[in-house]
Chain A
Amino acid sequence: MCESRHSLFRIVLTLVTLAVLAGCTQASVLRNKEPDAKPSQHVRVLLMPPEIELAELTAGGLVAPRADWTEQATRNIIEALRAELQAKNAELILYEPPQDPQKRYRYDQLIKLHNAVREAIAYHRNRDNGFRLTTKDRDDLDWTLGADVRLLREEFDADYALFLSVQDLYASGGRKALTFMLSVLYLFPVLPGAGQYGAASLVDLHDGELEWFNRFASQTGDLRSPDAVRISLENILKDLPL
């Protein structure tokens, strides 16, 4: 009798731990230590094509992309972002690929350059993996995309470019059941592995410097719901210098 009560206690403890861990949210922000002054009171922020993908995590651990959720989430994020920036006296502009193939090629290459820089920052800064660059201050953000970004400034009349990449996983019913079963069996919290992961960065289009960079992760949130997106966005845009 006594023993079974003890087990019950452990199960409850497990579930509590599970609940606590499930609420885990992280934002790892880097800011340029010598930011340029804001060009004006009212700034225009160009949202580069956001890389958003929502997917379902199947029982077997396969990531099954969902087109309908992704569409909904993209709409929600853009609307919430617009409102959020408006509150900071900033205007959101959406990137439209130009018709001219030459221009398009150049802009595409700028986007790819940014993505390469983003990977480099994530790799060299955000991990204690021994790959820290001795030329880069751990707490500073001194990366630039170069002067060519002025092309974007001129085309869209924008002061900053905002890049956003989010992968958002939702555990399927089967996966939730399975991990719950495991947690109970091992008396240890086993998480389904769902959550939001991604990176956001703000580039000054006057000189190409990255002003702000955030790698975020969250076990909670639902980008499919317009209300919940606002909460997620707080984490995504943490300490945005606007």
Chain B
Amino acid sequence: MYKYLPALMLTILCTACGAPATREELPDAVPGYTPDKSTDEAGLWMHMDLMEEQIKTSGQLVRDPELNRYVRDVACRVTGPYCGDLRVYIMRVPHFNASMAPNGVLLVWTGLLLRATNEAQLAYVLSHEAGHYLRRHSLQMWRDTERKSSLFTVLNVIGATIGVPGYAYDIAQLSAIGGTLKFSRDSEREADRLGYELSTVAGYDPRQAPLLWEALVKESEADDDSEPWIFFSTHPHTKERIATLSKLAEQAARNSGDDALGEERYAKALAPWRGMFLRDELQQRRFGRAEVLLDRLIASGRGLGELYYYQGELYRLRRADGDQEKAQQAYRQALRYQDAPPETHRELGAVYMQSGAAQQARAAFQRYLQLRPEAEDREMIRAYMEQLS
């Protein structure tokens, strides 16, 4: 009898393991919600509170009060009564992401702020994250992982006892991991829907969400790092998201108010920062995606002097065949606009200098020194000018 008992248990457990994961549905968090101290949820909150202390003192935290107020106001506009439960932190990370912790910490990466082209797009992402908070997805996910990992350990112990071949575990484990990731994708779908609802109710144009995802797909296709394998991605496949969101957007009547996009406000809030975010992006040396991003921002038609300057910078840094000409062209294009940074003259001067156009190089350097008489590199530029004469 004892001989068969472990086998029997293994059979039962394996069946439980293979069964489709049912998500434990939790009631939504209410405004002002805090979990009871003795619960696993309170444990997660406490852990995240400790992380929050790290975030507050992090060198990556963007502390500018203006920008913080702006992003927080957008978050409050879409979350309404939950505004007081969320704490927004802007982190200087040059990739597209935002994340929500169970205790209400909402992290927004600067790579996201660079890529959104209007307030409606930002509002949608913030609403999506708020959706995770409202639906308490972290807790759901935690309980699911806890259940599966415990089950697995038990299986392993029993299996080791009765001698089940190793590959059986690989298969079972793979199915459990796949299950966890599916669980996560389901949460993301739910947050997508909630995000769409919250931002639409707040008066934002619902068609902005699919536009943003579309732009991200194009960037990622141009990127040197390919897209992750769908089975192991925690987010629903982006193309699928676009389809769903477009459908949702069509279903909704368009809010025709001037506020539906918030393009003007967004551009104004981001203007002092975009140069820094673009520099951070170029530092990644992921030129494929940066090229697509810059083309898109240029097409949106705002701050063209600055954008063409950074396009020139991209070609200068990439140094592929023909890039020097492209850089020169971009810098010259930039200088047609009022907002071209003074550094455009310096870079243009350097390009001229390399191509042997001494007179033009001198003129460009001269202009740079006129505009930036206190520039840190003024002595070096003067030395170049002497060399050229």
A14 to B148, CA, bound (A): 30
Beyond A58-B146, A60-B152, A174-B150, is A65–B57 a contact (Cβ under 8 Å)? no
Nearest first, the 9 A-B pairs at minimum CB distance are: A60-B149, A65-B43, A67-B42, A60-B150, A59-B150, A67-B46, A108-B57, A65-B47, A68-B37
Decide if A60 touches B157 in the complex (CB within 8 Å).
Answer: no
Interface residues of B (CB under 8 A from A): 37-40, 42-47, 50, 56-57, 145-146, 148-154, 157, 160-161
Tell me if A112 and B57 are in contact (CB < 8 A). yes
B42, A178: Cβ atoms under 8 Å? no
Using CB atoms, name the residue of chain A closest to B148: A60
Q: Does A181 contact B (CB under 8 A)?
A: yes
8 CB contacts below 8 A, A to B, read: A60-B151, A62-B149, A65-B46, A66-B42, A67-B42, A108-B56, A112-B57, A178-B154
**A101 to B, closest residue via Cβ:** B63
Question: Contact: B43 with A67, CB < 8 Å?
Answer: yes
Asked if A53 lies at the interface with its beta carbon under 8 angstroms from chain B, I say yes
**Complex CA distance for A70 and B46, rounded to whole angstroms:** 9
Binding site of B, secondary structure by majority: helix, strand, loop or mixed?
helix
Within 8 A of B (CB), among A33-67: 51, 53, 55, 58-62, 64-67
A181 and chain B: residue at smallest CB distance:
B157
Give the distance to chain A from B163, nearest Cβ to Cβ, in Å: 12
B153 pairs with A59, CB closer than 8 A: yes
Indicate if A7 sits at the interface (CB-CB under 8 A). no
B50 and A67 contact, CB distance less than 8 A: no
A87 at the interface (CB under 8 A from B): no
Q: How far is the CA of A112 from the CA of B57 in the complex (A)?
A: 8
The residue among B38, B45, B47 with the most chain A CB atoms within 10 A of its own CB is B47
For this complex, into which size category does the number of interface residues on chain A fall?
Answer: 20 to 34
Inter-subunit contact A58/B149 (CB<8 Å) = yes
Q: Are B153 and A178 in contact (CB under 8 A)?
A: yes
Q: Is the CB of B46 within 8 A of A64?
A: no
Q: Known contacts A51-B50, A60-B146, A60-B151: does B157 contact A68 (CB below 8 Å)?
A: no
Q: Which residue of A lies closest to B152 (CB)?
A: A60
Contact A178 B149 (CB under 8 A): no
- What's the Cα separation between A212 and B47 when bound, in Å? 28
A residues with a Cβ closer than 8 A to B are 51, 53, 55, 58-62, 64-68, 70-71, 105, 108-109, 111-112, 174, 178, 181-182, 185
Question: When chains A and B are docked, how far (Å) is the Cα of A65 from the Cα of B103?
Answer: 14
Judge whether B153 and A60 touch: CB under 8 Å: yes
Instruction: Determine the distance from Cα of A198 to Cα of B213 in the docked complex, in whole angstroms.
Output: 45
Q: In the complex the two chains form, is A68's CB within 8 Å of B38's CB?
A: yes
CA distance A173 to B126 in the complex (A): 40
Cα distance A71–B157 in the bound complex, in angstroms:
35
Which single residue of chain A is at the shortest CB-CB distance from B58?
A112
Residue of A nearest to B57 (CB): A108
A119 CB, min distance to chain B CBs, angstroms: 14
Instruction: Report how far A59 CA is from B38 CA in the complex, Å.
Output: 19
Measured between alpha carbons, how far is A174 from B43 in the docked complex, in Å? 19
Contact of B146 with A71 in the complex, beta carbons under 8 Å: no
Contact status B45-A67, CB under 8 Å: yes
CB of A71 within 8 A of CB of B37, answer yes
